[in-house]
Amino acid sequence: QHILSARDFTREEIDFIIEIGKKMANNKYSKLLDDKIMAALFFEPSTRTRLSFESAMLRLGGKVIGFQSRDVSSLKKGESIADTIRTVENYSDIIVIRHPLEGVARMAAKFSSIPIINGGSGSAEHPTQALLDLFTIKEECGTIDGLNIGLCGDLKYGRTVHSLAYLFSNYNINLYLISPASLKMRFRITDWLYDKKMKFKETEKFKEILPILDILYMTRIQEERFLEAEEYEKVKDVYILTKKDLDNTKENFRLM
């Protein structure tokens, strides 16, 4: 089964993954994937995602192959994504792909006979990071239902907050989308939340919302996504959390 979008998960599947994650956290090394090979195809810079996938595969007894740049693959010579996937699937049992363009992981899945995991697709989604964040929230708070959660910062280009919003739609939470007007959550995601009858509010007023939040998930303003430096400069320092701000939060407030 491919992992391409957070939209594809049901609540039952998410809860199952979280429970399995808890069990595996207590047994970090196993031979579960002893005879398996993961191909990590990273067309975009990555530290945490690439190393976390590689570490997980190695801890489970598997092996890792792959590359960290388009420039060291045959794509530089004109090979298509389809041909790359058809080739790599002969050497591996699962493929993790990160690409600067949206939709490449889903396209790769059409040509692959083995599972594809989306390790980040442009500014669209990052489903595995969102699953990990949901796991962390459950571990820290003991529940997800009933929480007041704020997503703050770059909600237009931040792919992890897109995936988180999709996952949150499976739970009974109050979601606050905090961003400058120019970096609001994309309509296709807010439309999804409306269709799911989820309780959410869009606002630019960061400090007014802070005292009611259980969780604040802050994202950086991504300079590399802006076409004009001037537009980036306008919003880069809009949301800065200070120690004084933290004095106005709930006792069990969590910052992510």
Cα 253 to chain centroid, rounded: 22
Q: Which of 2, 50, 99, 126 is catalytic?
A: 126
DSSP codes of every residue in 186-234: PHHHHHHHHHTT-EEEEES-HHHHGGG-SEEEE----GGG-S-HHHHHH
Q: Is 49 a catalytic residue?
A: yes
Residue 2 a catalytic site member: no
Sheet of strand 215-218: strand arrangement: 199-203, 174-178, 148-152, 215-218, 254-255
The token duo for 125 is: 């989604």
Of these residues, 2, 50, 84, 98, which one is catalytic? 98
CB atoms within 10 A of CB 252: 9
Cβ contact 141:133 at 8 Å = no
Q: Indicate which residue of 77, 205, 243, 244 is catalytic.
A: 77
Burial of 43 from C-beta contacts in 10 A (0-12 / 13-18 / 19+)? buried
190 is catalytic: no
Catalytic status, residue 77: yes
Catalytic residue IDs: 48-49, 77, 98, 126
